[in-house]
A and B are shown apart, each in its own frame.
Chain A
């Protein structure tokens, strides 16, 4: 920790690839002081990014079968602690 920006490192976890998962997502609402929740269901590609130290891991969820109304894409990065694997 310090003045340097936290490093981000990409990787691939074969154990996660192809697994169906739900993401209890959301985040800060730009321009306000508040947060909002968003929920997704999809398939993990196995790709991940670790932000900073200790690592904060994010997985890529694609082929979204559930996403917020109006969400334009078919992919979302999900924080690992907010992911729930469906076939567990």
Chain B
């Protein structure tokens, strides 16, 4: 009897049936995926320590002892501190005027309340530390670092029985984290939603696999189908990390307007730009991204200045649910997200399609 190609060392490490990891900001999606036999990681980077503790408890109560993960974004560089007023004062008039011209041309409404960005004020090491301390105290089964090297926390995490995964965009980052002893590496390619490195998934995954030894490598970036899953396993990955796939799922709490935009989108409807945050990220195209891509547009500012410029547009669009203005992070695999299915069904469809792909290749029934 043929070996089950979907039974990987990641499955053995986590005690899961399918080597599929859902990265989601929605607890309902996470629970549905876990209970379908896959694994889910809840993105908690923008949550307070108290909210993280509550979310861990909420998930625990619904997954019957199955493992789950918590993702935080560990900052890796921080400019010397400025106040918000000092930051805003440094934005050049050319950029202010350009942002204002977009607002006027597209009739972008004002946000309904204070811009959330201005209130959060926690993008620093102290905030990340406080979030991390909760993950350790609550002994979340898996901690994933969505950016930044988690080496400094490995010993404390392992002492509490917590596995630590690091997400990387360069092979040298993977090497550093493997040497430190992380339990798995998520190798993320350029195709991904949100922030990405410069290497494509098809290149970075085998390169990291080649230096990883027995440590599982998880492929990320553009993965939305069972064929993608099968392909990454052939590249040597032990599983896939998927984000865009779940945004339009039935359980997802993403705005229905954005879900419909995602379902209609193809890879060409995504933009890879610094114009929203000052750091490159892949999102659905919208008037803001299109205007900043014009030749006469000023070069986007660095973070956090560009975000201070774009936040008025983003929040105004979201508060007033303006379909023509709204955007969302989306990977290049978005073209295959075409129907709004329950998360459980997405897992099973992906598994069936991957098995069919292997059967097609080998001629064996799996």
Is there contact, CB below 8 Å, between A32 and B277? yes
Q: Is A29 an interface residue (CB 8 A)?
A: yes
Chain A residues near B193 (CB-CB < 8 A): 34
Question: With A5-B126, A72-B305 as given contacts, are A79 and B149 in contact (CB-CB < 8 Å)?
Answer: yes
Is there contact, CB below 8 Å, between B311 and A31? yes
Bound Cα distance A1, B131 (Å):
11
Chain B residues near A52 (CB-CB < 8 A): 129, 133
A21-34, CB under 8 A of B: which get 1 and which 0?
00111111111111
Bound Cα distance A69, B75 (Å):
19
A79 → B minimal CB distance (Å): 5
Cβ-closest chain B residue relative to A75: B80
Is there contact, CB below 8 Å, between B46 and A33? yes
Is there contact, CB below 8 Å, between A76 and B77? yes
B36 → A minimal CB distance (Å): 23
Q: How many A-B residue pairs have CB under 8 A?
A: 190
Chain A residues near B172 (CB-CB < 8 A): 24, 84
Bound Cα distance A82, B206 (Å):
22
Is there contact, CB below 8 Å, between A27 and B137? no
Chain A residues near B149 (CB-CB < 8 A): 79, 81-82
Chain A residues near B211 (CB-CB < 8 A): none
Q: Is B231 an interface residue (CB 8 A)?
A: no
Q: Is B180 an interface residue (CB 8 A)?
A: yes
Q: How many interface residues does B have (CB within 8 Å)? A: 67
B residues 275-330 in Cβ contact with A at 8 Å: 276-281, 299-307, 311, 314-315, 329
Question: With A1-B133, A51-B125 as given contacts, are A27 and B302 in contact (CB-CB < 8 Å)?
Answer: no
Is there contact, CB below 8 Å, between A33 and B43? yes
Contact of B194 among A23, A34, A82 (CB under 8 A): A34
Chain A residues near B303 (CB-CB < 8 A): 27, 29-30, 36, 38, 68
Chain A residues near B46 (CB-CB < 8 A): 28, 32-33
Is there contact, CB below 8 Å, between A81 and B152? yes
Bound Cα distance A76, B46 (Å):
23
Q: Is A44 an interface residue (CB 8 A)?
A: no
B220-253, CB under 8 A of A: which get 1 and which 0?
0000000000000000000000000000000000
Chain B residues near A68 (CB-CB < 8 A): 274, 278-279, 302-303
Instruction: Pick out which of these stretches binds chain A: B13-21, B112-120, B260-268, B334-342.
Output: B112-120
Chain B residues near A77 (CB-CB < 8 A): 77-80
Chain A residues near B126 (CB-CB < 8 A): 5-6, 8, 51
B176 → A minimal CB distance (Å): 6
Q: Is B153 an interface residue (CB 8 A)?
A: yes
Sort A-B residue pairs by CB-CB distance and give the 4 closest, nearest first: A36-B279, A25-B77, A81-B149, A27-B75
